[in-house]
Amino acid sequence: MSLEQLIKNCIKQDAEAQSQLYKLYASKLFSLCLKYSKNYAEAEDNLHDAFLTVFSKINQYNNKGSFEGWLKRIAINTSLQRYRDHVGVYDIVNEEHIEDVSVDINDDNLSIDFLLQIIQELPDRYRLVFNLYVLDGYSHVEISELINISTGTSKSNLARARVILKNKIEDYKANLNSQSLL
């Protein structure tokens, strides 16, 4: 069945079509939800809620842009909404300028699993901004609107996330070097 037909059947609330759509996109959307969730269980909840939104609003998809992009935006917004609901008003007031730090990840000794792990270990507010800006290409203005913070706070949180990641990478490399000397 074509994607177009699958969408039409989902609009008609055909359970088989909904199941097929879920199977087709669940793994991609789950990995996206995991980036914006505290843990695996929360990512599962966010994925479930995202699909509930997809199925209730699929008739609003107007074939402009990719369907997968539309799904991804729903998954991201669902995860961010859960974050906003649990955190309430963003409590970061200090927006002092922090020097922008670059993080060198072009190193054969850094596995993708290690990088994903240290990103996941970032404090929520830093992880969200880092993922939105670096991994998903949102601007600071868009991020500020998505998670109800100022543009300056978005920039500050990104800089702080980079400092934390840089320090973890440097520690990791130092441990590798000390182990290789043994």
Residues 111 and 172: their CA atoms lie apart, in Å, by: 11
| pLDDT value of position 63 | 84
| pLDDT value of position 92 | 44
| pLDDT value of position 178 | 77
Residues 100 and 117: their CA atoms lie apart, in Å, by: 22
pLDDT in tens, 27-68: 999 999 999 888 889 999 999 999 999 999 999 998 888 999
pLDDT in tens, 139-181: 999 999 988 899 999 999 999 999 999 999 999 988 887 776 6
Long-range contacts of 152-157 (CB under 8 A, 24+ apart): 152/95, 153/90, 153/92, 153/95, 154/129, 156/92, 156/94, 156/95, 156/96, 156/97, 156/98, 157/92, 157/125, 157/126, 157/128, 157/129, 157/130
**Alpha helices of 12-111 — where are they, by DSSP H?**
15-35, 40-57, 67-87
For the chain, the distance separating the N- and C-terminal CA atoms, rounded to the nearest angstrom, is 59
pTM comes to 0.73
Q: How many residues does the chain have?
A: 182
| pLDDT value of position 138 | 93
DSSP state of 131: I
Average pLDDT over all residues of the chain: 86
Mean pLDDT of all residues in 81-103: 56
From the CB of residue 11, how many other CB atoms can be counted at a distance below 10 Å?
14
